[in-house]
């Protein structure tokens, strides 16, 4: 059956009074539509702009490389330029020699991440004038990662002077309390952590701000004192095992320059354990064999 026609008679509320006619819905004004569209666009655009400005793979022109290598206010710009210079060096691009003086200068940069990247880059060209001497000086850097990268680069020069620093790359980082303190916050064992990542916060009586204990290396937290613990000065706060990539690079270098005394640090990585990847375990076995062959044992 067809639907009955809708009545146009006035509607009444329960008290018998005429009900007010419904107000027509108002659409968005032009200004509201523009604001809504702009907000949505910014939500999409801002993460892209952040990624674009921090992504080290973005190509830099020669003038940009020069500009970035001297941008002391933005260390990530310097790192970006260094990585691109290193990539071009690995492809035997002779044009990058114009920036070699900058690489030597940056070996003394106040920012640890810049020195760390610079140490790696200088190892890409063993013919670079001044690189060898700069890397030797970096073996005394305050950062274990800079010392390690300098030592790894020196191996490319056929120089084993940094062998102790390479062995140190296989060792866990042990962090201690600088003073008597109380743990108020901490990460959890088994958590991956980047270089400079926060491990724990400690407080001392009368201190205006907590003491932050940060990891000097990338890796995984083996142990860390949990909130509520009281620590004496010099007591262990945390132990961080080195990252897989760091261990693998150290083992590869020791394959070339390692000595019998280094086997104590190498053998833990030969174990068939879940936290030791197969390629690392295999490299550890091959490194020991290479060392024994050189030693004639």
Which pLDDT score is estimated for 234? Answer: 96
**pTM of this structure:** 0.77
Percent of the chain with pLDDT over 70: 80
The pLDDT of residue 203 is above 60: yes
**Rounded CA gap, 253 and 263, in Å?**
13
The pLDDT of residue 78 is above 70: yes
The pLDDT of residue 90 is above 80: yes
Find out whether 83 and 119 touch, Cβ atoms under 8 Å: no
Mean pLDDT of the chain: 86
Environment class of 61 (CB within 10 Å of its CB; exposed 0-12, middle 13-18, buried 19+): exposed
Which pLDDT score is estimated for 208? Answer: 84
Which pLDDT score is estimated for 39? Answer: 58
Find out whether 252 and 290 touch, Cβ atoms under 8 Å: no
- State the pairing for strand pair 211-214/230-231: unpaired
- Over residues 233-250, the pLDDT tens digits come to 999 999 999 999 999 999
**Rounded CA gap, 163 and 258, in Å?**
7
In the three-class reduction of DSSP (H, G, I as helix; E, B as strand; rest coil), residue 294 is classed as helix
Tokens of 16: 């018998």
Which pLDDT score is estimated for 136? Answer: 97
Query: Angle at Cα 96 formed by Cα 92 and Cα 98, nearest 5°?
Result: 140
With b for 16 or more beta-carbon neighbours within 10 A and e for fewer, the 127-155 pattern comes to ebeebbebbbebbebebbbbbbbbbbbbb
Least confident of 32-36, 43-47, 101-105, 107-111: 43-47
Q: Is 87 left (phi over 0), alpha (psi -120 to 50) or beta?
A: alpha
Which string of DSSP letters, residue by residue, matches 158-222?
Answer: T--TTHHHHHHTTSPEEEE-SSSEEEEEE--TT-EE-TT-EEEEEE-TT-SSPEEEE-SSSEEEE
Find out whether 277 and 244 touch, Cβ atoms under 8 Å: yes
Contacts 24+ apart (CB under 8 A), 197-201: 199/175, 199/224, 199/237, 199/238, 199/240, 200/224, 200/225, 200/237, 200/238
**Rounded CA gap, 166 and 175, in Å?**
20
């Amino acid at each position: 059956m067809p639907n009955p026609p809708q009545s146009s008679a006035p509607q009444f509320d329960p008290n018998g009074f005429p009900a007010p006619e419904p107000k027509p819905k108002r659409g968005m004004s032009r200004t509201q539509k523009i604001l809504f569209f702009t907000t949505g666009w910014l939500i999409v655009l801002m993460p892209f702009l952040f990624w674009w400005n921090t992504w080290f793979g973005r190509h830099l022109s020669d003038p940009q490389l020069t500009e970035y290598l001297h941008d002391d206010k933005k260390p990530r710009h310097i790192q970006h330029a260094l990585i691109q210079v290193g990539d071009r060096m690995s492809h035997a691009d002779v044009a990058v020699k114009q920036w070699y003086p900058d690489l030597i200068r940056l070996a003394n940069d106040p920012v640890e991440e810049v020195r760390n990247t610079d140490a790696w880059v200088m190892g890409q060209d063993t013919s670079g004038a001044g690189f060898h001497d700069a890397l030797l000086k970096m073996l005394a850097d305050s950062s274990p990662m800079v010392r390690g990268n300098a030592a790894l680069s020196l191996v490319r020069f056929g120089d084993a002077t940094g062998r102790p620093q390479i062995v140190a790359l296989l060792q866990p980082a042990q962090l201690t309390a600088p003073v008597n303190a109380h743990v108020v916050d901490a990460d959890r064992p088994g958590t991956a952590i980047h270089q400079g990542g926060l491990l724990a916060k400690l407080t001392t009586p009368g201190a205006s701000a907590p003491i932050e204990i940060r990891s000097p290396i990338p890796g995984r937290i083996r142990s860390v004192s949990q909130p509520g613990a009281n620590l004496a000065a010099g007591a262990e706060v945390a132990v961080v095992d080195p990252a897989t990539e760091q261990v693998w690079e150290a083992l590869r270098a020791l394959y070339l320059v390692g000595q019998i005394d280094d086997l104590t640090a190498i053998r833990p990585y030969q174990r068939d354990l879940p936290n030791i990847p197969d390629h690392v375990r295999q490299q550890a076995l091959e490194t020991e064999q290479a060392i024994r062959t050189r030693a004639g044992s």
